[in-house]
Structure 1
């Protein structure tokens, strides 16, 4: 006879089904609570982490406050007026005292060329349409997860709060804005039996911003771990197409770079996990909250994604963890905007926190046990 001691399962609070911690044993629940405390402590290191220089909010200083945006606007304008992308980009980088080496200092031409061939008024409209598509897709994904409309409405508000920077027309030339929305949309539409749309969105995201390749690689790795061979093949195919494009891009950059052009100082920032947390506060509506509260909410949002027992939550959490590692190791204070790649979905994790935290605390405190026995012949 063998026995297992389980905590009494409580009925779901917000979610249609129990959280990942429903019925967890008391020792494991206490271990998870300890890990949560460590996560929150790590998030507080954001208070001492360096950040980007403050913005003056003076329209006359826009060239300094939004130098990268001004750079991309100039490139789009040059291409719109008949310039060849790589020549225009090289000239703009030199004029702005940007590095031109290695080739990754040049963005792929996808976004600039597309925007240059659209009427100026159509670009922000397209951005708004993509943002609305993200909200609609996540509404469809979340509707079965919540038992009542109010929690679902809260989840959508949190999603929109994570997209605060993504509906600013002045940022429409910023590559991370588009790639971040495409990643969020791909995470929402991907299903076990329907993943081609997510793969296509991931490919487009990579062709706009190269760092989206990390997201695609994470999706490939999870597909392999779950034994989904066909899906893994789709993600691998997207990476292969991207690799060919990058090779062609590198050769095109070689044709316009001069021997005396400056090189990048590198990306080994090693600013730590607190820098990732700071980028999340700067990239979402948490920028309006006090720094201490914002840092703690980032930790609770990450933990909230772990509370939802679903394949979608696993993929979102893995993507957040991947970019947290990227920013912690390679981010610099002037590349804080890398956080935009995953900002849209972050705060949505708070919607899963009530059930998960309630189940976890109940399991850690509950002295009553249900003993399950199995009689061996």
Structure 2
């Protein structure tokens, strides 16, 4: 095993510093494969092009307009399920199976608030995420400049989450809530993390993937009480979904169209593309954005912390979801994990140096036994 090197940016060596040379070389090869695989984003299909013409907003932002229409209908006194069914029919959306209807949580809350208050609440949630991650990341870095870089990267991941036009998008709120839950979770304090995870699921039920990951990792690590807490949150969602499915069945007709399915099978490149479209990487050329997404995942894999393990497991699970079931028009699923993924770039300098040292360093300690 190579001699540990002093950290560059981090306060402690990365998990790669403890690898033996054969293992380090395997990890280095996997990293190279990850970089190559990320380039498949160049040929992966993306969402339809946007005209940026205000007159074409109904076509460019059809889903956003749909959710805004539903909120307006509920604010006007309509029943959520009846309003949603009518909006889906008007927009030629499928109404079957029941999961084509979002849970009523977000629309009901927004309908009860003035539009300005909704935007303010979104900004408060975004600020809470920034503060929670600043507190969580501060001990990880040895100096202030790397911490500042990490916070800039966090802001870059949240670029889409502070746009008032997207305030009715369920993934925007759920993504921020997942990010907040991740930052708040600690060994000795996990109740708040479970609470925000539950709220995220009630806004967008696919947040159950994140909560499930947290439950499994807590169970594997022997934290039974925490695992039970996450499990109870999933159970609560299950009860809500049962009532939701029944309510949907009362407004759906047999002649209503069904969803074509979600087996997109677009591959890892589609996940990489969704990450670039959901963050500030959208401003970079696709080849560069794809490489940076791969580097961010590598950085998260290197940081030797429980939070890094949970974040990386979350990214990997949603990567599988998007790779297997995503469609070009559901690229916004990537918003569920977009806020925090770029923070991994702040761990890359230490992770890359430690991995290279472990894989290449030939220094050995020779023990000589002298007999007198």
Name which of 339, 358, 364 aligns with 1:363.
358
Deviation digits for residues 267-312 of structure 1 (CA, Å, limit 9, x no counterpart): 1111111100000000000000001000000000001001100000
Query: Deviations 1:64-99 (Å, cap 9, x if unpaired)?
Result: 110000000000000001111001000000000000
Instruction: Say which SS state the counterpart of residue 21 (structure 1) adopts.
Output: helix
Distance 1:54 1:335 in 2: 14
Question: 2:146 pairs with 151, 168, 189, which one?
Answer: 151
1:17 to 8, 12, 16: 12
Does 2:356 correspond to 1:351?
A: no
Contact map agreement 1:8 1:370 (CA 8 A) in 2: no
Moved segments of 4+, more than 6 Å: none
Contact 1:180/1:343 (8 A) holds in 2: yes
TM-score computed with the length of structure 1 as normaliser: 0.96
Q: What does residue 239 of structure 2 align with?
A: 244
Q: Report the secondary structure of 2:17's partner residue.
A: coil
Output the CA distance in 1 between the equivalents of 2:42 and 2:178: 28
Report the alpha carbon displacement of residue 370 of structure 1 after superposing the two structures with TM: 3.4
Counterpart for residue 196 of structure 1: 191
Q: Give the unaligned 5+ runs of structure 2.
A: none
Q: Which residue of 2 aligns with 1:48?
A: 43
1:369 is displaced (CA, Å) by 2.0
Q: Which whole-Å CA distance do the structure 1 matches of 2:245 and 2:224 have between them?
A: 31
Count of residues in Structure 1 that have an aligned counterpart in Structure 2: 368
Q: 1:212 to 1:372 in 2, by over 3 A?
A: farther
Map 1:1-377; keep pairs closer than 5 Å: 6-370=1-365
Distance 1:371 1:323 in 2: 47
Pair 57,370 (structure 1): closer, same or farther in 2 beyond 3 Å? farther
The structure-2 alpha-carbon separation of the partners of 1:69 and 1:371, relative to structure 1 and needing over 3 Å to count, comes to: farther
Equivalent-residue separation in structure 2 for 1:49 and 1:11 (angstroms): 40
2:365 counterpart SS class: strand
**Native 8 Å contact 1:7 1:370 kept in 2:** no
SS in 2 for 1:121: helix
Q: Does structure 2 conserve the Cα–Cα contact (< 8 Å) formed by 1:76 and 1:116?
A: yes
User: What is the rounded CA distance, in whole Å, between the counterparts of 1:370 and 1:202 in structure 2?
Assistant: 48
Cα distance between partner residues in 2 of 1:50 and 1:194: 42
TM-score by length of 2: 0.98
Distance 1:219 1:359 in 2: 28
Distance 2:244 2:20 in 1: 54
**Which runs of 5 or more residues in structure 1 are unaligned?**
1-5
The change in CA–CA distance for 1:135 and 1:371 in structure 2 (over 3 A counts) is farther
**1:179-199 C-alpha deviation (Å, 9 max, x unpaired):** 000000000000011100010
When the two chains are superposed, the root-mean-square deviation of aligned CA atoms in Å is 1.0
Whether contact under 8 Å (1:100, 1:264) holds in the other structure is yes
